[in-house]
Amino acid sequence: MGDKKNPLEEQLKELIDFCRETDLREVVWEKNGTKISFQRSGISAVPAGSAKQSPSMAETADKASPEPFFIRSNMVGTFHRSDSKDRPPLVVEGTIVAAGQPVGTIEAMKIMKDVVSPIPCRISKALVADGHAVEYGQPLFEIEREGAEENV
């Protein structure tokens, strides 16, 4: 019986290590009738209209500079512009999005994680094609700030 636990314990350890390396808040894993589900506590999500939890974006947004703003990858994986293969992209150039609105997903180890907009904005340019590998912090979309009064 001890031998059966070792592979499962190894897989569980690998899953937990993966979650520690990303900012996943909830994980549900199911395989061969075994289901594991957990949520992390103490993780600060970026609520709509809150620039304090994203200081680099807030600092950049407060400066009236012509530098472009970006929505960046929140983890390493494969970027998808829609929630499934038979659906259109979540956003296209010109789409206006709210803070916290999903603009794509990133898949890693069969786990999908939403990429959300940190601020209200308009998508200026998609920088990564659907199905391409991305790195943590890599720009995915160039954006223009919308509703500056909401971000102060």
Q: Which domains does the chain have, with CATH numbers?
A: 2-39 (no CATH), 55-151 (2.40.50.100)
Structure token pair of residue 11:
């897989």
DSSP SS3 for 83: coil
Q: List the one residue out of 97, 109, 101 whose CA is nearest residue 83.
A: 101
Q: What pLDDT, on the 0 to 100 scale, is given for residue 13?
A: 77
Question: pLDDT 10s per residue in the chain (152 long)?
Answer: 444 457 767 777 777 777 766 666 666 667 677 767 666 644 333 333 433 444 444 444 444 555 788 999 989 999 999 888 888 899 999 999 999 999 999 999 988 899 999 999 999 999 999 999 999 999 999 999 876 544 33
Count CA atoms closer than 13 A to 46's CA, side-chain side: 25
Q: What pLDDT, on the 0 to 100 scale, is given for residue 40?
A: 60
The position carrying tokens 């001890």 is 2
Confirm if 136 and 75 have CB atoms less than 8 A apart.
yes
Confirm if 91 and 141 have CB atoms less than 8 A apart.
yes
The position carrying tokens 């190894």 is 10
Go through the chain and tell me how many residues it has.
152
DSSP SS3 for 21: helix
Q: What pLDDT, on the 0 to 100 scale, is given for residue 39?
A: 60
Q: What pLDDT, on the 0 to 100 scale, is given for residue 147?
A: 66
